[in-house]
Structure 1
Amino acid sequence: MSLKRLLLAAVTLASVSTGLLPLTVSSARAEIACESSLVLWSVSRKFHTYDRNVIKSGLRIEELYDAHPVYSTNHTSDTLIPRQYCKARAMMSDGRDRTVWYVIEYGQGFAGVSYRVDSCIPGFDPWHVYGADCFTVR
């Protein structure tokens, strides 16, 4: 490890331990939340792409509403990645209402900056990528 990297790691660790650089879900959630239009757009876009390339049902999400957090994890729990687990209702193009489960993982976007959203609609995960009934994003 180069001296520059070692120094950067020491400064980052000192900033985190003194509270100058907060690493909690609550501070990250101030920027992005379950009901954020960017997050809801990401959920809709991912379903559209997944449907077009994998399940080919021809359905799309017309509207996402009633989005709210279910629970969250932060750096004091078992994981080092803060996550916000969310639930919303989706009005689908077939007129049916379905539950959408999704998780926002902070610091997991491109190059570790921003966030990543994984989502699942029960019944639309034929290979159980997210476990039975979308268990891993609940």
Structure 2
Amino acid sequence: MRIASLAAAALLAASVLPASAATLLEKNFWLSGPNYDGILPRCDDPAVTGKIATRFADKEADYWNSALTIERFDRHHQIAYSPWGRSFIPRRFCSARVLTSDGHYRRVSYSIAEDTGWLGATWGVEWCVDGTDRNLAYAPNCKMARP
């Protein structure tokens, strides 16, 4: 009981103290900053397009009760690479045309970013297929998925 009350008092005291900046020791050893390589897959890499197609099908089935899938990618092109400068997370912005299972060609805008994948251990991808952004996460017309 005594240990629990001491722990509670210490937690309360720590929560009312103002936040302070990192010390010189913390800056030198623990807060060294990002160490990015800037090595990202190309826009037409099958691992990237496969991840987009799989996640698109999962999203359509799970959230929208739809059987819509991406059948094929073509016309890949890079829009920008790290457009905000070297001090930001390296990102490759791409666009491509996809054929969806309903027979329509649509544009997909996507970005491949370093250390944004599973546990920050690999690259990640964010994407938006025109005409299927039903929750308007990248509205208007997937514009927010581009630089």
| TM score, norm. by length of structure 1 | 0.75
Shift of 1:124: 0.6
Structure 1 counterpart of 2:78, from 50, 69, 80: 69
Shift of 1:6: 6.5
Structure 2 counterpart of 1:28, from 39, 43, 53: 39
Alpha-carbon distance in 1 for matches of 2:90, 2:144: 15
What amino acid maps onto 1:131 in structure 2? Answer: A
Shift of 1:7: 6.2
Identity of aligned residues (%): 25
Structure 1 counterpart of 2:59, from 47, 50, 74: 50
Alpha-carbon distance in 2 for matches of 1:108, 1:72: 16
Structure 1 counterpart of 2:93, from 85, 88, 92: 85
Shift of 1:37: 0.4
Which protein is richer in helix relative to its size? 1
Q: Check conservation: 1:74, 1:80, Cα contact below 8 A.
A: no
State the match for 2:135 in structure 1: 127
What amino acid maps onto 1:133 in structure 2? Answer: N
State the match for 2:126 in structure 1: 118
Alpha-carbon distance in 2 for matches of 1:124, 1:112: 28
Q: Check conservation: 1:74, 1:81, Cα contact below 8 A.
A: no
Q: Check conservation: 1:51, 1:57, Cα contact below 8 A.
A: yes
Shift of 1:55: 2.3
| Secondary structure, aligned partner of 1:86 | strand
State the match for 2:16 in structure 1: none
Q: Does 1:102 align with 2:113?
A: no
Alpha-carbon distance in 1 for matches of 2:59, 2:116: 20
| Secondary structure, aligned partner of 2:108 | strand
Shift of 1:90: 0.6
| Secondary structure, aligned partner of 1:133 | coil
Q: How far does the alpha carbon of each residue in 1:22-67 deviate from its partner, in whole angstroms, 9 at most, with x for none?
A: x35xx413xx111110000011011101100122332111111222
State the match for 1:39 in structure 2: 48
Larger gyration radius, structure 1 or structure 2? 2
Count of residues in Structure 1 that have an aligned counterpart in Structure 2: 125
Q: Check conservation: 1:87, 1:99, Cα contact below 8 A.
A: yes
| TM score, norm. by length of structure 2 | 0.71
**Unpaired segments of 5 or more residues in structure 2?**
1-21
**Unpaired segments of 5 or more residues in structure 1?**
none
